[in-house]
Chain A
């Protein structure tokens, strides 16, 4: 595990030294500042506006980082051949994949945490207090983080066997499809051919269910998010990530590096 940690820390260092990352964080801070501004002109619904815009910013920025940096984690190393010297060291290929994943997950955690601090500062600025009900915002941030790690795992899987452009398209496609899992499962009878409906239902169970991670509405209205949902989403994300990463590792272990 030391070798995984070494790769992870270097991945984190790369992200920290990458100026693109700072630009994205800057963009997020601008979004939060905008939220404050919009919140001030939205009398009575400041919290809803600030939380919705803030969480959206965290989610969008996180998704951009997850997809673009996630795809580049493996493909850039192959393309630039930085991987060659590394794999000649006593490092297994699966350790490399896991290390890269852990490094980006750590980067996302730090970024999300930094942006969340910005969001809570914005809330405090408008409300002059932070209440117990605001923990729902924290849970929403946690769910965003779970969602992002799942996206990173998918991006890494695709980048293990296809070109960076296709990997981005596949990851984005799967993410969008994963937002409509509920609709796919509950197509009304009569609106669709039963066989096709059955097929869609089957696919919906294989697709990553990103809808489950969306509690933005509840967080904005200060509603309590159940412990059961937190546990369920945590286990779901962990299992799904484990499966996706296992497939990525299996593919990468057999890949010829040209």
Chain B
């Protein structure tokens, strides 16, 4: 099997606190996971779960209490490895006295590109993130969303093999979110490995080959979104409209939820054909029939609730 693009082993991080910094709060506990080359991996978790801590550890912005990690087979201390990674920090903030062009040119210099190459890359990236007309404006005049786009541009400016994005959709309007999603999908098409953290589950479901869910500093599950939530359906949902004379579908109507002219009916899979027959007899117009599956959000909320319940139980025991 090919070497994973990101290989994390028992990564643990404690933060000291208190006046003398003698007490320790565990932010990440024995995290072990791999991100395979070429996959889009979503790192999910509520605020304070340990997502950003993990990413900061990978970027060597903080150092682990225990454990280790490798990117592209190289230890994190290997500075040459940084030529092949791109990183977008959470809520990025850049030198506000620079223009976007100057900032990107500044970052490009660390990759030893020629002046001509830098100029070409900077213009290409600005166009790619929709900032070609704002390239000569100082960043202090940029909105949060524009800064996020500049952040994304600097992360992929040098065509890295691994792209790590910390909350890339944060602060973006729907158009901006769509554009970021397109960029992530484009990176995947190019064979890049993308690790991104988010707490927006629809983004993860839409983009990720696999996701890892972290709650309370502990990894709770890793896998394809469909694997994690399970393939077993929770029933069937029928969406239908009923003519004024269709009162004979009495039983079913009592179970259905009405929104405007439409009814939404959720039933057991085994009772589908009987219900369809009854609706047909009542003259209903069937709009759609879909399987009801648990969503990633339900799975996620279940894990968060379980973690909170466990934390509460520990608190009660220690009192």
Contact = CB atoms under 8 A, between A and B. Distances in A.
B151 A85 contact: yes
Contacts of A3: 109-110
B97 A90 contact: no
Category for how many chain B residues contact A: 20 to 34
A82 B93 CA distance: 6
Contacts of B63: 254, 256
B212 interface: no
A85 B87 contact: yes
A193 interface: no
Interface string B72-96: 0000000110110111110111110
A218 to B, nearest CB: 40
Interface stretch (A11-19, A31-39, A164-172, A183-191): A11-19
Nearest to B110: A89
A84 interface: yes
A73 to B, nearest CB: 13
Interface in B79-124: 79-80, 82-83, 85-89, 91-95, 97-98, 106-107, 109-112
B200 interface: no
A235 interface: no
A257 interface: yes
B112 A2 contact: yes
A84 B59 contact: yes
B61 A257 contact: yes
B62 A257 contact: yes
A236 to B, nearest CB: 33
Q: Which of A13, A91, A256 has the most CB of B within 10 A?
A: A256
A84 B111 CA distance: 17
Interface in A214-254: 254
Contacts of A84: 56, 59, 61, 87, 89, 92
A85 B110 contact: no
Contact of B95 (A2, A10, A89, A92): A10
A84 B164 CA distance: 12
Contact of B62 (A10, A13, A258): A258
Nearest to A93: B60
Contact of A14 (B79, B97, B109): B97
A258 B53 CA distance: 9
B36 interface: no
B82 A90 contact: yes
A230 B131 CA distance: 53
Contacts of B91: 81
Given A14-B95, A80-B93, A258-B62, A85 B83 contact: no
Interface residues of A, number: 24
A256 B61 CA distance: 6
Contact of B79 (A10, A17, A92, A258): A92
B62 A90 contact: no
B61 A87 contact: yes
B83 A90 contact: yes
Nearest to A86: B107
Contacts of B109: 2-3, 6
Interface in B152-203: 154-155
B56 A257 contact: yes
A88 B87 contact: yes
A19 to B, nearest CB: 10
Contacts of A80: 93
Contacts of B56: 84, 257
Nearest to A2: B112
B85 A82 contact: no
B111 A18 contact: no
A85 B82 contact: no
A10 B106 contact: yes
Given A82-B95, A85-B154, 6 more contacts: A2-B112, A85-B87, A88-B59, A89-B110, A90-B83, A91-B79
Interface of B: 56, 59-63, 79-80, 82-83, 85-89, 91-95, 97-98, 106-107, 109-112, 151, 154-155
7 contacts: A13-B97, A82-B95, A84-B92, A87-B59, A88-B82, A90-B79, A92-B79
* A-B residue pairs, 6 tightest by C-beta: A88-B87, A84-B89, A89-B110, A256-B62, A90-B82, A17-B97
